[in-house]
Structure 1
Amino acid sequence: MGSTMPLVELTVPEGTLSEAAAGVLQQQVADSVLTAMELPRTDFFAAATWVYVREAAKGLATTGAGTPPGVLVVVTPLEGFLTPERNEALSVEVTRHVQGAVGPDTVVWLVVHEVPEGNWAVNGGLTRRAKIDEFVAEAARAR
């Protein structure tokens, strides 16, 4: 079974974050996503949660008003883990982390793209909810 999920992509304006600040933000966002999805912070789930930070080159990203955009956060989980209430809590947490790293006036867009089961594969193996639930149960037994 492929197991990488969720995937998070942060797009920030060029030069916004140092490498160290990006690393801290990546960890904070990963933890927030795992919490929102109600997944344990085990080595397995930590390794399966990928957070990319991408820089938008100056002048290549703008709003319709011609002003620089803020930060775009795209969270891609397997379908069924996030409810509207969990999405809202995630948005609050991620916004707090991004604004802490980038600046308090930064506009933060968070978009969740759920992937239906059967549409997520890693290394040729489909990621299945039942298998993820097994890993969660295993982690609970290990406590």
Structure 2
Amino acid sequence: MSRCMSCEAISEGYDAATCKQRHEVLKAKVAFLTTSQPASFPDVLLFASDDGSADTAEPLVPVPAHKAVLVSRSPVFKAMLENEMEESQSSTIKIGDVSYDALLAFVNYLYTAEVWLDQQLAYYLLVMAEKYQVQHLKD
């Protein structure tokens, strides 16, 4: 029997070091997610564009989000939405060179600090984390 160094839990076959690591990860998520919950209605739409071209045959599908969440998680979104930029006026943000799935996973991460990914998606999320200065995702 051993005792967890973080939560004091006692369990047979318990790896206390692993439990402590899990607690550290959870503490980092809580720190990352310490903003108040946004209103139910999204106030900004994000659009992904795989090739950056505006003349695609298919209409772009929006990813709805809340400005408060984007601003609190990313200094780049903060600068974009709090200043007199086109994005703050139109409440739409077009993100080129990213797939809809990658954008959806990125926005989901900004809300939950969790991500399920494969190797290709990991690459795109790392690029987006760098571009939008989301250090928690890069780590």
- Is the TM value for this pair above 0.5? no
Query: Which of the pair has the greater relative contact order for Cα pairs under 8 Å at 6+ separation?
Result: 1
Q: Which has the larger radius of gyration?
A: 2
Structure 2 length normalisation: TM-score? 0.23
- Higher strand proportion (structure 1 or 2): 1
**TM-score between the two structures when normalised by the length of structure 1:** 0.23
